[in-house]
Chains A and B, each alone.
Chain A
Amino acid sequence: MPKTSLESGWPPALAFQQFRRRGTLEHRVTSPTDRELLMAIARQDRAAFEALCRRFGHRLFGFLVCRAPNQEAEELVQEVMLTVWTRAASYNPALAAPSTWIFTIARNKAIDRARKRMRPQVDPHDPSLVPSPAVPNPDQHVVMMEWGHHIDAAMRELPEPQRVVVNAAYAEDRSMREIAEQQGVPVGTVKSRMRLAMKSLRLYFQRQGGPDAH
């Protein structure tokens, strides 16, 4: 097997497992998975980083150019990829597919740009931070779900008014107040729909058995 920079750090058992799952040798060598690329980037592998940039560049640009003029969208793509580089080590495969994780970063960048201000965020280096327990409790495990694989099915299960609210907030970046105006209902109604939607989405993923089920 020709050695690429990506494979240098693999534990043999894991590499073999990956190889078995992918089936063919060519496929394994020519196209590492997104997850493999992220793991290599976590070890500061520049070749893997370049490969990931090339794989996601167009899609990220397509998403961001709907929210910012061309030039700014290009800068945002670059910012997203820089964040991927600095945070790759904290990527948690139990929580999200690599592409979902990358698009979450992109979405947050787009939001900050629209608000012209950084959203207040938890600082992982904050001395005030209360660390997460080493073993997540069972309740917490429930929320560690992979939206990416189930999002359409989960959304279809929501009653129409709840689906509209979730979609307006998460896909159209609208505030509760804006949604209330758009829908002609009180803000309290929008909030309770959001609350019910979050509850149903959680239950849905709980029924799916979380990320380990698929």
Chain B
Amino acid sequence: MPIEHHPLPEHLAEYAAGVGEIGVDLVVACHATLCPTCRAEIEAMEQLGGAMAERGANEHRAGPPGSVEAATSSFDMDALVGKTLRAVDRLPVQVPVQAGGPGGGVLGPVFPAPLRAYLPAPSDIAWRRVLPGAARFDLEVPGHRGPPMHLKKLQPGLRIPQHGHRGQEFDLVLQGGIKDHTRARVFDRGDLSYADASTEHALSILPGEECITFSVAEASVEASHWLARMLYRKAGW
């Protein structure tokens, strides 16, 4: 089934400009792995950056003498060409990644490559049970100060009561599916559910497979009912 729920244009633009935060960048790169439409969109936006870079470079060349000109005058073209050609000779032969290879296994294709780079082997993912039917794995990225990233594993049929959000939340579905009862939408593999402070919704996990999401959340959720609120707090959501 084609993907129906995409990142917002500003998230794609931020990614393409290369100025996004790692969490959202990972969401976008994983979505783009599964969504050819967004992949093409990103490519077009990246060309915008390239066109602006090119224009800047041409302006420097045409402009009055300055530090850039001083630097470029010391540039040794023959040395560069020589080094580059030697480097071409040393290039390794490209070996395509095998499904089920390192970091693969049965779950290999579930996690797109950009995310696999930050995950242990699927069998080594230390899932932490947070509620009956719900487990979570926190991603540790050294030096990362943005919104926390985690994987969620949710049992088929699980109901998640009405709740709001204190900040932006991205949930990219990688396996199984989620039904949003409030917004009357279904999220399958590759679909991105985006919520912010204005979103309040009740969810359930589609029957069949376990649902796995890659999630980036600025803040914990705020359950509408006191009992659910207590549960969420306990679960650390």
The answer, among B10, B37, B53, for a CB contact under 8 Å with A195, is B10
Q: Number of A interface residues, CB 8 Å? A: 82
B81 touches A65 (CB 8 A): no
CB distance from B57 to the nearest CB of A (A): 4
Distance A145 CA – B50 CA, assembled complex (angstroms): 13
Q: Are B54 and A99 in contact (CB under 8 A)?
A: yes
Please tell me if the beta carbons of B43 and A173 are within 8 angstroms of each other in the complex. no
User: Which residue of chain A is the closest to B118 with respect to CB atoms?
Assistant: A120
Q: Does A169 contact B (CB under 8 A)?
A: yes
Given contacts A82-B84, A104-B53, contact A54 B77 (CB under 8 A): yes
Contact of B48 among A66, A147, A195 (CB under 8 A): A147
Q: Nearest chain B CB to A89's CB is how many angstroms away?
A: 11
Q: Are B10 and A191 in contact (CB under 8 A)?
A: yes
Stretch binding the partner chain, chosen from B19-27, B130-138, B205-213: B19-27
Chain B interface, DSSP helix/strand/loop, else mixed: helix
In the bound complex, what is the Cα–Cα distance between A132 and B57 (angstroms)? 33
Which size bracket describes the interface of B in this complex? 35 or more
Report how far A195 CA is from B19 CA in the complex, Å: 15
> In chain A between 76 and 99, which residues have their CB closer than 8 angstroms to a CB of chain B?
77-78, 81-82, 85-86, 95-96, 99
Bound together, the chains give a CA A106 to CA B87 distance in angstroms of 17
Which residues 114-170 of A have a CB within 8 angstroms of B? 115, 117, 119-123, 125-133, 136, 139-140, 143-148, 151-152, 166-167, 169-170
Question: What residues of chain A lie closer than 8 Å to B77, measured between beta carbons?
Answer: 53-54, 57-58
For the complex, give the distance between the alpha carbons of A101 and B68 in Å. 23
A residues 43-85 near B (Cβ < 8 Å) are: 46, 49-50, 53-54, 57-63, 65-66, 70, 73-74, 77-78, 81-82, 85
Among the 9-residue stretches B105-113, B121-129, B153-161, the one with 4 or more Cβ atoms under 8 Å from chain A is B105-113
Q: Mark A187-213, 1 if CB is under 8 A from B, else 0.
A: 000011011001101000000000000
Q: Which chain A residues border B30 with CB–CB below 8 Å?
A: 120
Q: Is the interface of A mostly helix, strand, loop or mixed?
A: helix
- In the bound complex, how far is the Cα of B51 from the Cα of A101, in angstroms? 8
Which of chain B's residues have a CB closer than 8 A to the CB of A128? 33-34, 108-113
User: Is B33 a contact partner of A130 (Cβ separation < 8 A)?
Assistant: yes
A104–B50 touching, CB < 8 Å: yes
Q: Which residues of A contact B15 (CB under 8 A)?
A: 119
Would A100 and B61 be within 8 Å (CB), given that A66-B68, A133-B36, A199-B9 are in contact?
no
Can you name 20 A-B pairs with beta carbons within 8 Å? A46-B85, A57-B77, A62-B61, A63-B60, A73-B71, A85-B88, A95-B44, A103-B50, A104-B47, A127-B109, A128-B113, A129-B33, A129-B113, A130-B35, A132-B36, A139-B37, A166-B48, A175-B14, A194-B10, A195-B13
Which residue numbers of A lie inside 8 Å of B, CB to CB? 46, 49-50, 53-54, 57-63, 65-66, 70, 73-74, 77-78, 81-82, 85-86, 95-96, 99-108, 110-112, 115, 117, 119-123, 125-133, 136, 139-140, 143-148, 151-152, 166-167, 169-171, 173-176, 178, 191-192, 194-195, 198-199, 201
9 extra A-B contacts, CB within 8 A, seeds A139-B37, A195-B9:
A78-B87, A100-B47, A102-B50, A127-B97, A130-B190, A136-B40, A140-B36, A145-B44, A195-B10
